[in-house]
A and B are shown apart, each in its own frame.
Chain A
């Protein structure tokens, strides 16, 4: 615990237990954790483990042992080092450490943990773009100050982006000008899914400002399409 106390607040054991019970109650949980051999396949396959002090095996092991203190540490720290690529799903026991992390993150977000808010801070603009437009971030949106999580080289790359892309050609050279827009009907359906499945509430838990500006965009379109947004509040 000592290493982490300055990064996030310690809470009473009962609170840690409550968070853990919420994780265990998730209907996906039993199919994400059977038993662990400690074989290390998940760590060997994990790209994040090469760069961070991060071990999917420890996530599975802590969950199997129900080590409440350690799980609380992981929920506030380790889980945000995972790239959610699910390479760890090659586990011979069919565990999914990445799946456990999905649940741990959701519980962290749903309970408004400060560490979750901090971890997701850099993503507000990406989330805003993706959810607002209903489609992916496109390379021609890249600007030096747009997405802080893309790292310090983004300015150098963005200066000559077109040249880089032609030098290292991806399968297509898609931009916002080529088949990027989604139809209004698709967008409306996406907005409804996000409202109905609690995604908007999750966003409110970690970033109230983001929730407000997204809601403005979405509600306008939904109300124009004849949906009564009062149902959602």
Chain B
């Protein structure tokens, strides 16, 4: 017996958007979220402003959350995980377990959308010598979001306003030694956005971005990169830092200034590591639970990605957002729409058969 319900795993931007759109066209949704709250990484990691657009992350995510809560077509299951799945396109039987309660339940679904997202690269695995876990003033872009959300940007070690701040790009991305050969796509834009925010909250702070290439496709160029450089006087230096050494109260960074063709060793007060994206724990687990193929980076494999970016190796199971690999928000939301309409088309076709 075909089910007219769509099961969405993950209550972040992609999952919320897919749920909202399905309910808009009258399709029933079960939205499963492992955390006790909706909103995904932007809420869990306390993002300040969204990249791009500079809108307040919490406000924007709350708008998406409101659209699915108190919505008669969307059954939101918080603190819940998928523990098993059987069946096929049109009639999946998915077992949900609720944390703490010990109870589990089988939900029927005609189609499934996996929207379990990414997690930030753990800088402890970095092969360059950045000492993230040793020096409190070495932080990640995720840590920086939290500080900027609180409206300040100070040295974690002593609360002082930093004289010099630098971003190091491509941490955990584009690196054969780490095994992540891919580009994480968003870190150039996020670092540039944060650099602008740092300059705004503390205009006396000098901000540098050390990069391999700046990947600022489309309008990120004119919305983020050029204003950061031209209006906010952020210094972009081509060359990557290999080592951070503590020197008194400050951090000494070592790298090459490739533009000037010479080694550099300069002091910084805060170093921000632009950590990339890796498949989240949930994405890896859901790939196994639903039996969908993963690529070598453990993201969900998309067999025909150019013209069908939401297909997985299993018919009836779709993927949206960064569960399929590094994605910006625009891409995640776009994928959510595509996955929603494909899932809706499938359950309706099955119902009519």
Interface residues of A (CB under 8 A from B): 34-38, 57-58, 61-62, 64-65, 70, 93
Contact = CB atoms under 8 A, between A and B. Distances in A.
Interface residues of B, number: 10
Given A35-B226, A35-B229, A65 B235 contact: yes
B259 interface: yes
Contact of B259 (A34, A35, A58): A58
Contact of A70 (B226, B236, B260): B260
B226 A57 contact: no
B238 to A, nearest CB: 5
A65 B214 CA distance: 17
Contacts of A93: 226
Given A35-B226, A35-B236, A58-B260, 10 more contacts: A35-B230, A37-B214, A38-B259, A57-B259, A61-B259, A61-B260, A64-B235, A65-B235, A65-B237, A93-B226
Contacts of A64: 229, 235
B53 to A, nearest CB: 21
Interface centre among A36, A37, A65, A70 (most CB of B within 10 A): A65
A25 B214 CA distance: 30
B212 to A, nearest CB: 12
Interface of B: 214, 226, 229-230, 235-238, 259-260
A65 B260 CA distance: 12
A71 to B, nearest CB: 12
Contacts of B230: 34-35
Contacts of A35: 226, 229-230, 236
A17 to B, nearest CB: 15
A103 B11 CA distance: 57
A-B complex: 10 closest residue pairs judged by Cβ atoms: A35-B229, A35-B230, A34-B230, A61-B259, A38-B238, A65-B235, A38-B259, A35-B226, A58-B260, A64-B235
Nearest to A58: B260
Nearest to A64: B235
B239 to A, nearest CB: 10
24 contacts: A34-B226, A34-B229, A34-B230, A35-B226, A35-B229, A35-B230, A35-B236, A36-B229, A36-B236, A37-B214, A38-B238, A38-B259, A57-B259, A58-B259, A58-B260, A61-B259, A61-B260, A62-B260, A64-B229, A64-B235, A65-B235, A65-B237, A70-B260, A93-B226
A58 B236 CA distance: 13
Nearest to B227: A35
A35 B237 CA distance: 12
A37 B214 CA distance: 9
Contacts of B229: 34-36, 64
Nearest to B238: A38
Q: Most B CB atoms within 10 A — which of A35, A58, A62, A93?
A: A35
A93 B214 CA distance: 15
A112 to B, nearest CB: 28
Nearest to B237: A65
Contacts of B235: 64-65
Contacts of A70: 260
A83 B154 CA distance: 47
* Residue with the highest number of chain A CB atoms closer than 10 Å, among B214, B236, B237: B236
B186 to A, nearest CB: 20
Indicate the member of A34, A38, A58 with the most B CB atoms within 10 Å: A38
Contacts of A61: 259-260
A70 B261 CA distance: 13
